[in-house]
Amino acid sequence: MRSTMIGLLRPLLVVCASLLLLLLLLPGAHSRIPRYTNGFHYQDIGNGNGNGEIYFNGVRLLVESPQPSVSATRGSSVTLPCHYHYEPEPTAPRRTRVKWSWLPANTVGAPASAENVVTETEVMVAMGNRHLSYGSFRGRVRLRRSAPGDMSLVINELQLNDTGRYRCEVIDGVEDESVTVDLELRGVVFPYYSQTGRYHFNFYEAQQVCQDQDATLATFEQLFTAWEDGLDWCNAGWLADGTVQYPITVPRDGCGGVDLDPGLRSYGQRHRLLHRYDAFCFSASVKGTVYFLKHLTKLNFTEAVQACARDGSQIAKVGQLFSAWRLMGLDRCDAGWLADGSVRYPITKARANCGPPEPGVRSFGFPPLFLKFGVYCYR
User: Which residues are near ligand NAG by CB under 6 A?
Assistant: 136, 159, 161, 300-303, 369-370
For 319, the 3-state DSSP assignment is helix
Cβ-contact 268, 244 below 8 angstroms: yes
Specify the length of the chain in residues: 379
Q: What are phi and psi of 281, to 5 degrees?
A: -100, 155
The least distance separating ligand NAG from the CB of residue 371, rounded to whole angstroms, comes to 8
The least distance separating ligand NAG from the CB of residue 306, rounded to whole angstroms, comes to 9
With respect to ligand NAG, which residue has the nearer C-beta, 16 or 118?
A: 118
The least distance separating ligand NAG from the CB of residue 214, rounded to whole angstroms, comes to 10
The least distance separating ligand NAG from the CB of residue 89, rounded to whole angstroms, comes to 39
With respect to ligand NAG, which residue has the nearer C-beta, 159 or 266?
A: 159
With respect to ligand NAG, which residue has the nearer C-beta, 124 or 170?
A: 124
With respect to ligand NAG, which residue has the nearer C-beta, 83 or 165?
A: 165
The least distance separating ligand NAG from the CB of residue 302, rounded to whole angstroms, comes to 4
Distances (CA, A) of 162 to 101, 151, 157: 12, 19, 10
The DSSP secondary-structure symbol of 353 reads T
Q: Is the dihedral of CA 84, 90, 91, 95 positive or negative?
A: negative
| CA distance linking residue 108 with residue 275, whole number of Å | 23
With respect to ligand NAG, which residue has the nearer C-beta, 153 or 347?
A: 153
With respect to ligand NAG, which residue has the nearer C-beta, 73 or 159?
A: 159
Enumerate helices (H) and strands (E) in the chain, giving the number of each: 5, 24
Q: What's the 3-state SS for 208-275?
A: HHHHHCCCEECCHHHHHHHHHCCCCCCCCEECCCCEEEEEECCCCCCCCCCCCCCEEEEEEECCCCCC
With respect to ligand NAG, which residue has the nearer C-beta, 63 or 158?
A: 158
- The closest residue (CB) to ligand NAG is 370
The least distance separating ligand NAG from the CB of residue 120, rounded to whole angstroms, comes to 13
The kind and range of the H/E element at 165 are: strand 164-172
Burial of 113 (0-12, 13-18, 19+ CB in 10 A): exposed
Residue 88: cis peptide before it, omega within 30 degrees of 0: yes
The least distance separating ligand NAG from the CB of residue 181, rounded to whole angstroms, comes to 18
The least distance separating ligand NAG from the CB of residue 363, rounded to whole angstroms, comes to 19
The least distance separating ligand NAG from the CB of residue 203, rounded to whole angstroms, comes to 15
With respect to ligand NAG, which residue has the nearer C-beta, 96 or 320?
A: 320
DSSP structure string for 7-22: HHHHHHHHHHHHHHHH
With respect to ligand NAG, which residue has the nearer C-beta, 136 or 195?
A: 136
Percent helix, strand and coil across the chain, each to the nearest 5: 20, 35, 45
| CA distance linking residue 123 with residue 99, whole number of Å | 8
